[in-house]
Amino acid sequence: MSNLEISPISNELSHQEILRYSRHLLLPEVGLGGQKKLKAAAILVVGTGGLGSPAAMYLAAAGVGRIGLVDYDVVEITNLQRQII
């Protein structure tokens, strides 16, 4: 086991993040508070095949702060069509 230190993520949105997520900020269901919660969130995606890969991609695009990926499969020619990340 390594001694991996994970630094805390600031809850505040930078100017760049405000520009990037401006459409989310306009939605009453998300707004500034919701985007800050997404930035502070940590998610573990188990399985990075046909469902996990796009889910992780969209979670990252939505602004989730930390995303972990776990998959015990081996990338092979027969499963490349499912690999998008």
Task: Specify the pTM.
Answer: 0.77
Predicted confidence at residue 5, as pLDDT, reads: 62
Round to whole Å and give the CA distance between 32 and 13.
Answer: 9
Place of tokens 């990075």: 48
Predicted confidence at residue 38, as pLDDT, reads: 96
Predicted confidence at residue 11, as pLDDT, reads: 75
CATH numbers and ranges of domains, the chain: 15-82 (3.50.50.80)
Q: Which residues of the chain have pLDDT under 50?
A: none
**Contact between residue 52 and residue 46 where contact means Cβ atoms under 8 Å apart:** yes
Contacts 24+ apart (CB under 8 A), 24-28: 24/62, 24/63
